[in-house]
Every structure is written in structure tokens, then in C-alpha cells.
Amino acid sequence: MPILLEMKDIHKVYPNGTAANRGVHLTVHEGEIHALVGENGAGKSTLMKILFGLESPTSGTIEYKGQPINFHGPRDAIQQGMGMVHQHFMLSPSLTVSENIVLGNEPKRGPFSIFRDRAREYREVEQLVATYGLQVNLQAKVETIPVGQKQRVEILKVLYQGAKLIILDEPTAVLTPQETDELFDSIQALITEGHTIIFITHKLREVMRISNRITVLRAGKSIATLQTKDTNQEEISRLMVGREVLFRVNKVPAEPKDVVLAVRNLEALDDKGTKALNGISFDIRSGEVLGIAGVEGNGQTELVEAITGLRKATAGHIRYQGKELLEASVAEIRKMKVGIIPEDRQTSGASLTSTIAENLMLDHYRNPEFKRGIFLNKKKIKQFTQIMMQTYDVRAQNEEIMAGALSGGNLQKVVVARELSKNPKLLIASQPTRGVDIGAIEFLHREFIKRRDGGAAVMVVSAELSEVMALSDRIAVLYNGEIVALLDNTPDLTEQEIGYYMLGIKKQEQEEVR
Ligand SMILES: Nc1ncnc2c1ncn2[C@@H]1O[C@H](COP(=O)(O)OP(=O)(O)O)[C@@H](O)[C@H]1O
Ligand SMILES: [Mg+2]
């Protein structure tokens, strides 16, 4: 296949000094699906923003269709036949699907083309929908449609703009397994119609399934370009992190004991005042991990907030070791040996303007062990925080570094270290490995299982289904504020099966959901 695109020795230093690309080579053949893989922070999005004219490279050259290019903005890239679907969608919520697709390129009619040609608009968009199997409701307002459809609208939009080379930045991060299957069908249709795809992901199973070739980025450098048929997940992950990675969490079967957390008929409202939890009941026992699966926005956030005291429940009970938690404050709950690893560690997990040591000490300052008379025992604190940093592999020069200067993975390790250091009886982890690199994920997962085996009750909420499946002994699926399935995580349980519940296609009888 002829070469469509060549990026040579791309370097990018952002104004704050971050070197996001440090010598990247990328060659894309016409008509291929090229996977761009790498851990979080490897520089994938930066490289694609440079290609698309959103960022200018510090040095390096780009050739497209044999010609050197120097885009001044996305407009130039679009004009040259490129399209990019970003990690965060950029649609106008109050416009309809069809209006979003044609936005900026509305077909016109009449003298001097002053009238909007709606008939042509629908005809053309419907043609695209049919060709690529990207089913959407053209008349619906974008704010009312689910995430999977918003993504289709983004893809239809770049197609409408005439894109031949389409960049998809982590497109499956927000999709259910079924929606991912549908997306992959559409990508195949795009290839059939003569398009070229750059597909960014860190999910290796997807890479193996869909790509023709793979370029691996590590720490801002391109490490290798491989033919998909000649490689495997182990090799790619080794290239990504520089060593072998375990895909499965090694664990022995759970030995659940007493009920630690009992949630009954819990109801709560979301920020807009509509019902987000609609009668939730479940138990978590000492020595087991309960995973909460579901497409984001089906009540996960509200459930965690209700249990941890951040959100008032409107009905129901939450009993923790026999005590009612509903009236307790966050601070009171934290003191009851409840470990909380929140979804948003930047705002509620850690204090970014405090040092690592101050963050780690949060729940320990009152502990007499760290006092000398009425003063803090600085030496003890230093010792304690250094050991914690070692144990939890927090990579920073010393404990006096500001938490805000740490990478996402290291910051998460600080939060986890702090929460586990109080030996929680109940551990609640929400999206615990989001934005965390593979090496750290493996480490955090092992820590969670260690706590389970030590008798803690663990609840893991994750939008990553493979993470829920790797960690959990039982899995509750949230859909529309209800637990629609409570499943034993046996070896024959598949992602597909859970996916049916996540989409609301299947629902267990109430007796089964206990
Ligand atoms: N606008 C920016 N300013 C400064 N640093 C940035 C900016 N965008 C990304 N970075 C940093 O550049 C590095 C690479 O980021 P990114 O290209 O988003 O990686 P990836 O998409 O592979 O996760 C990260 O350390 C990130 O924090
Ligand atoms: Mg990215």
C-alpha cells in the first residue's frame, strides 16, 4: 500500500516545559487501520494534535500524499481531507444531530444560495448513515442522545466534511462492548469505502482485533512499528511499559464472612434534582470484592457519594458494621475505618497544594505516635512518609514535593497509600485506575486483593468492564439508577453478557438481585 502520511522526528515541548513528543516517527499507509498505542501520557494525543494543526511541533517534518505540509490550524487539515474525533466530544448540545453534522457546511439553495437546503441536508446525511451503518436519530437534539450516538455524530461530521484520513482518539473509552462492536463494523465500512484510519487506544485486545499495523509510543518516543499479524498482546504491552504485564489479577477464591456494608432501598437525586438512585439494595461482606459495572452516568457517582456522605440520600438505609451511615458526615465516615478512593482525585482525593507528606499524614496527625508532647514529631513523620512512598512505589524526589507536581499515576498511589494506611474495614474505590499507567494499575489491583484477603470489604466502581471483571468476586450492574443484575464472577461470565445488562436489554428478576 502506498504511503499516505509520514511524520518524521517530531518533537514537542509545551510552554510549561513538558516534552510530550521526543522524536516520534509515524508512517501510515493508504487504506490501513493504524493503531497508535501507549500508556497514558505517552504523547499520543499530542502527536495527533500536531498532525491536525491544533498544536505546532517544536521540530520535525510531516509529509502528506508526498508533499510537506505545515498546517496553521484544523481548518487546513480538514481542507486536506483529514478529520479528527477527539477524546472529549465537541458538539453543540442544543442543535439537532443533523444540524451538528452539517454545521459550517450547510447546503444552500435559491438565488445567491441564501436559503438553507434542508431536503438536501437530510438526503446527504442519510446517505452517509446508510453507507457506514452509523445509526443516529437525525432530528434528536444532541443533548438528549447517549454517548455512543454522540460519537457517531462526530464521525458523520468529519465524513460530511470530506475526510479521507480519520483520527479516532480513544474512541472506545466511553463505549459498551456492544457499541464497540458496532463502531468496529463502521470502521470496516470506512476502510471498504477507501478511508484510512488512525486509531488511538491503550486496549490491546482491540488493537489485535482491528488494526493492520501498530506504532507503540513510550514516554514521548516511538518505540516500534509492528504488523498486527506478527505480534501479540504480550509483546505490545512489553513495548509499552518496557516489561511484562499481567493482564489478570492473581487471586484465590474469596472467603466472604460477615456483612460489612448493607445498603437497602437507597434512593438519591442527581445534581439536577432528578432521581439517580431508584431503590438500590446490596450487601458487601468481609473478604469479598463487589464490582459495580455500568455505562457511566447510570448512578455510579451518586451511589459512591451517598455511601461516603457526600450526597444526602432521599430514602433507604446504609448500615456499616451495624451503624446507620445516612446521617454521618464525610469526616465521621472517614474516621470509621472506611477507605475512600474517590473518582476525582484532583479535586477531592488529594490536596494538590500540599506536600506528599502532608497528604499521606491526613488521617494520622492526631495519632499520638506522631506527637512529641503537643508538637508533631517531624522525624517520625518523615520516616513514616518515606516508608509509605517506598511501599506504594510513589516516584518523586522526596516527601516534600507538592502533590500537584506528581503525574496522575503517582498521585493516585499517594491517595491509595493514605487510604490503605488506616487499615480500612470497608474500601470504596471509584475509577481507581483511570489515567494511571499499566505498571501502576497492576500494583493497585494487587493491593486491593491483599486487603480483601485480609478481611476488608471492597467495592470497586469502574467504567472499565475488564477491570471490574478482573477484580470482582461478584458484579452488580447499574442501569438507570437500579441494580439490574447481581452476578457471581464465575469463569464462564462474559463481557457480552454483562453488556446486555449495561444496555438495559436484559434484566434479572428482583429475587435474583439480592
Ligand atoms: N497543553 C499541554 N500543556 C502542557 N503539557 C501537556 C499539554 N497536553 C499534554 N501535556 C502533557 O504531555 C504529555 C503527553 O500527553 P498526551 O499527548 O495527552 O498523552 P496521551 O494522549 O498518550 O495520554 C503528558 O505528560 C501531558 O501531561
Ligand atoms: Mg490522549
Judge if 342 and 230 occupy the same domain: no
Burial grade of 473 (CB within 10 A; 0-12, 13-18, 19 or more): buried
Tens digit of pLDDT per residue, the chain (514 long)?
899 999 999 999 998 888 899 999 999 999 999 999 988 788 999 999 999 999 999 999 999 999 999 999 999 999 999 999 987 788 999 999 999 999 988 887 777 777 788 888 889 999 999 999 999 999 999 999 988 899 999 999 999 999 999 999 989 887 888 889 999 999 999 999 999 999 998 788 899 999 999 999 998 999 999 999 999 987 887 888 765 444 468 889 999 999 999 999 999 999 889 999 999 999 999 999 999 998 878 999 999 999 999 999 999 999 999 899 988 988 899 889 999 998 876 667 888 889 999 999 887 877 888 888 888 888 888 999 999 999 888 888 889 988 888 877 788 889 999 999 989 999 999 988 876 777 788 888 999 999 999 999 999 999 888 889 999 999 999 999 999 999 999 999 988 889 889 888 889 987 667 6
Judge if 204 and 123 occupy the same domain: yes
Judge if 232 and 266 occupy the same domain: no
CB count within 10 Å of CB 2 equals 8
Which of 429, 427, 434 minimizes the C-alpha distance to 411?
434
CA distance 212 to 224: 14
Contact by Cβ (8 Å): 34, 198: yes
* Last residue within a domain, chosen from 241, 273, 308: 241
User: Domain of 349?
Assistant: 259-502
Give the torsion through C-alpha atoms of 91, 93, 99, 105, to 10 deg: -30
CA distance 252 to 453: 9
Cα 19 to ligand 1 centre (Å): 8
Cα 347 to ligand 1 centre (Å): 19
Judge if 198 and 289 occupy the same domain: no
Judge if 341 and 208 occupy the same domain: no
Ligand 1 site residues, Cβ closer than 6 angstroms = 14, 16, 18, 20, 38, 40-46
Q: Which three cell numbers stand for residue 149?
A: 450516538
Task: Confirm whether 252 is domain-assigned.
Answer: no
* Last residue within a domain, chosen from 210, 241, 272: 241
Judge if 191 and 319 occupy the same domain: no
Tell me the longest C-alpha to C-alpha distance in the chain: 88
Judge if 348 and 411 occupy the same domain: yes
Task: Confirm whether 246 is domain-assigned.
Answer: no
**Best residue among 10, 11, 18, 84 to mutate for probing ligand 1, ranked by most atoms within 8 Å of CB:** 18
Smallest-distance ligand from the CA of 19? 1
Judge if 101 and 208 occupy the same domain: yes
Judge if 20 and 66 occupy the same domain: yes
Contact by Cβ (8 Å): 479, 501: yes
Judge if 62 and 17 occupy the same domain: yes
Task: Confirm whether 315 is domain-assigned.
Answer: yes
Report which ligand 1 atom has the smallest distance to the Cα of 169: 21
Domains held by the chain: number:
2
Cα 232 to ligand 2 centre (Å): 23
Task: Confirm whether 386 is domain-assigned.
Answer: yes
Task: Confirm whether 264 is domain-assigned.
Answer: yes
Task: Confirm whether 509 is domain-assigned.
Answer: no
* Last residue within a domain, chosen from 180, 206, 241: 241
Judge if 338 and 424 occupy the same domain: yes
Domain CATH for 136: 3.40.50.300
pLDDT at residue number 246: 47
Task: Confirm whether 366 is domain-assigned.
Answer: yes
- In which element (H, E) is residue 165 found? strand 165-169
Query: Nearest 5°: phi and psi at 378?
Result: -55, -40
CA 35 to chain centroid, in Å, comes to: 18
Task: Confirm whether 507 is domain-assigned.
Answer: no
User: Which string of b and e fits 177-207 if b means at least 16 CB within 10 Å?
Assistant: bbbbebbbebbeebbeeebbbbbbbbbbebb
Smallest-distance ligand from the CA of 215? 1
Judge if 228 and 322 occupy the same domain: no
**Best residue among 7, 14, 51, 437 to mutate for probing ligand 1, ranked by most atoms within 8 Å of CB:** 14
pLDDT at residue number 153: 96
